[in-house]
Amino acid sequence: MQPLKQLSQTLRSLADREHCVFAPSDLAGAVPGCGQLAVLLSRATKAGVLKRVCRGIYLYPVPDYPAGSLLFHAAARLRAGEFNYVSLETVLCDAGVISQLPMNWITLMTSGRSHIVDCGDHGRIEFVHTAQRPTDVSGELTYDAPLHLWRASVKQAFRDMKATRRSLDLVDQEALHELV
């Protein structure tokens, strides 16, 4: 069987709403023995089997996929080997403490290096380095299962804002004190 057809059949039978964002290493198992995985992924993208989200992340389009989760799922796959959690402006905006946040921009704290990942039309993922260990902040984190990531409390997100010296100009202090 041709590798592209094999990949397509495997994804059609295994991918679902919760598992449709993949790194190349995830897809390599679908076509064992394929020596040119990068070429295969390029062909799959051109054929519409996969959509490239950003470098190293692909989406297998499934019905009813929650589009608002794509950047979070991509972030979880990009830094799967690191300690990551949603924080900073993303958490404060969701809580109503910050009224303005760029569209399609998410912010996460990570034990990896700081970096902004451009996901084209999908938006951007900003990873901000932290030296904190999971045990240091575990009491302020909850697991957000639909996003496949840990999420900071408002209190921890504000602490992270101060620790990383980000602008606090947009923070509504009254709303913050009601939640903290």
Predicted confidence band of residue 18 (pLDDT cuts 50, 70, 90): confident
**What digits encode the pLDDT tens for the residues 132-142?**
999 999 999 99
Which range of residues forms the domain containing residue 54? Answer: 3-59
pLDDT of residue 2: 87
* Distance between CA atoms of residues 88 and 17, nearest Å: 27
Is residue 146 in a domain? Answer: yes
Per the structure, how many domains does the chain have? 2
State whether 100 and 134 are in the same domain. Answer: yes
Going by C-alpha positions, the residue among 61, 93, 102 that lies closest to residue 171 is: 93
Query: Which CATH number belongs to the domain containing residue 44 in this structure?
Result: 1.10.10
pLDDT of res. 1: 62
The two tokens of residue 127 are: 């990873």
Q: Are residues 50 and 105 in the same domain?
A: no
The residue out of 59, 90, 107 marking a domain boundary is: 59
CA separation for the pair 41, 89 (Å, rounded): 34
pLDDT confidence of residue 107: 96
Q: Residues 103, 39: one domain?
A: no
- Say how far apart CA 6 and CA 31 lie, in whole Å: 7
Pair (101, 137) in one structural domain: yes
Q: According to the model, what pLDDT value does residue 32 have? A: 79
Same domain flag for 86 and 168: yes
- What percentage of the chain exceeds 90 in pLDDT? 69
Asked whether residue 163 is domain-assigned, the answer is yes
